Amino acid sequence: MKKLTALSLSALLISGTFLCFTQQAQAWRHGVVNRQGRQQRRIGNGIQNGSLTGREASHLEKQQVRLNRQETNMRAQDDGHLTQQDRSQLEHEQNRDSRNIYYDKHNARNQ
């Protein structure tokens, strides 16, 4: 009886751990896409309200395209998955791009 309970608990723990890792991987994939979408909207809002010049917006858009291309290449190298190192690099670059968006939207230049 004790063996059966221990085996059941072990199986439950292993399946729960696997489910957790699977959900984290899916959350990251959607997190990258969602963050790119949010940054894209921030650029669009900046264009709309005049806080970004055309040149600034063009530069920010090119950064977003470069990051999307880089993510696609990383996924192609590893059967559609991102390694932890890839995720870290993408997050670092997204942080940099986000700071650039903020800076360009809040500087004194207007259209």
Reported as a single tens digit per residue, the pLDDT across 39-60 is 999 999 999 999 999 999 999 9
Between 11 and 63, residue with greater pLDDT: 63
Asked whether residue 82 is assigned to any structural domain, the reply reads yes
CA dihedral 8, 10, 13, 17 (to 10 degrees): -130
Query: What is the per-residue pLDDT for 29?
Result: 53
Asked whether residue 90 is assigned to any structural domain, the reply reads yes
Tell me: pLDDT of 21 over 50: no
Q: How many domains does the chain have?
A: 1
Asked whether residue 69 is assigned to any structural domain, the reply reads yes
Between 87 and 22, residue with greater pLDDT: 87
Tell me: pLDDT of 20 over 70: no
Asked whether residue 48 is assigned to any structural domain, the reply reads yes
Asked whether residue 25 is assigned to any structural domain, the reply reads no
Can you read off the two tokens belonging to residue 60?
Answer: 């920010």
Asked whether residue 12 is assigned to any structural domain, the reply reads no
Asked whether residue 1 is assigned to any structural domain, the reply reads no
pTM: 0.69
Mean pLDDT rounded to a whole number for the chain:
80
Asked whether residue 15 is assigned to any structural domain, the reply reads no
Residue 62 C-beta-side C-alpha neighbours within 13 Å: 6
Q: Which domain holds residue 97?
A: 32-106
Q: Give first-to-last CA distance, the chain, whole Å.
A: 76
